[in-house]
Amino acid sequence: MLDHVIKSISGFLIRLESRYGLVAASLVVTLILTGIAVIYVQPIFTVAFHGLLFQDLSSHPFSFHIENHLQYRILGPLLGYLLFLRGDLFFILPLIFIALFPAITYYSYRKKKIEPIDSFFLACFIAMSCVVLLPLVAPGYTDVITWFFIFLAFSNAKKILKSAIFFSLALLNHESSLVLLPGLILYSWWLQKSGFMKIILVYMLACIPHLIYRQFVDAHVTPLYSVSFYLSETNFWFVMHKLVLYLPAAIFYAFKLWWIFPVCFVAWSINQKKFLQCCIIACITGGAFILVFIGYDYTRMVVIAFPAVLLSYEWFKEILEMKKLRKLTVVIIVLNFLILQYQFNYDGAQPMFPWILNKISAMAGIPLV
Q: Coil, strand or helix: which one is 350?
A: strand
Is residue 367 pLDDT above 80, yes or no? no
Mean pLDDT value of segment 151-174: 98
Beta-bridge partners for 348: 345
How confident is the model over 182-205, as pLDDT tens digits? Answer: 999 999 999 999 999 999 999 999
Helix (H) or strand (E) holding 38: helix 22-40
Residues in the chain: 369
Does residue 369 have a pLDDT over 60? no
For residue 328, the number of C-alpha atoms closer than 13 Å in the C-beta half-sphere is 15
Residue 16 phi/psi, 5° resolution? -60, -45
Pick the closest to residue 59 from 81, 83, 75, 92 (CA basis): 81
- Spatial distance between the Cα atoms of 312 and 281, rounded to a whole number of angstroms: 8
- Pairwise CA distance, residues 301 & 14, whole Å: 36
pLDDT at 1: 85
Rounded-to-integer distance, Cα 134 and Cα 144, Å? 9
Per-position DSSP letters for 49-68, written without gaps between them = THHHHHHHHHHSTT--SS--
Question: What burial class does residue 139 get, using C-beta atoms within 10 Å of its C-beta: 0-12 exposed, 13-18 middle, 19+ buried?
Answer: buried
CA 355 to chain centre: 23
Question: Looking at residues 11-33, what average pLDDT do you find?
Answer: 98
Q: Which of 300, 353, 351, 256 is nearest to 41 (CA)?
A: 353
* pLDDT tens readout for residues 315-335: 999 999 999 999 999 999 999
Reported as half-sphere exposure (CB side, CA atoms, 13 A), residue 335 has a value of: 13
Summarize pLDDT for 240-279 with one digit per residue, the tens: 999 999 999 999 999 999 999 999 999 999 999 999 999 9
Q: Whole-number mean pLDDT of the chain?
A: 95
Whether pLDDT at 363 is above 90: no
What DSSP character marks residue 259? G
The alpha carbon torsion through 176, 287, 265, 245 (nearest 10 deg) reads: -100
Half-sphere exposure of 318 (CA within 13 A, CB side): 7
In order of 73, 165, 169, 230, 262, the CA distances from 172 in angstroms are 6, 11, 5, 18, 28
Question: Under a CB-based contact definition with an 8 Å cutoff, are residues 199 and 186 in contact?
Answer: no
pLDDT score of 314 more than 80: yes
The Cα 205–Cα 187 span in angstroms is 17
299: left (phi over 0), alpha (psi -120 to 50) or beta: alpha
* Beta-carbon contacts of residue 202 (< 8 Å; ≥ 6 apart): 160, 161, 164
What would the pLDDT profile of 113-133 be if each residue is shown by its tens digit? 999 999 999 999 999 999 999
196-206 and 160-173 helices cross at what angle (nearest 10)?
30
Give the pLDDT confidence score for residue 356 in this predicted structure.
Answer: 79
For 207-216, write each residue's pLDDT tens digit: 999 999 999 9
pLDDT at 366: 65
| Phi, psi for 351 (deg, rounded to 5) | -70, 145
| DSSP tag of 1 | -
Residue 41: band (very low, low, confident or very high) from pLDDT cuts 50, 70, 90: very high
Helix (H, G, I), strand (E, B) or coil at 345: strand
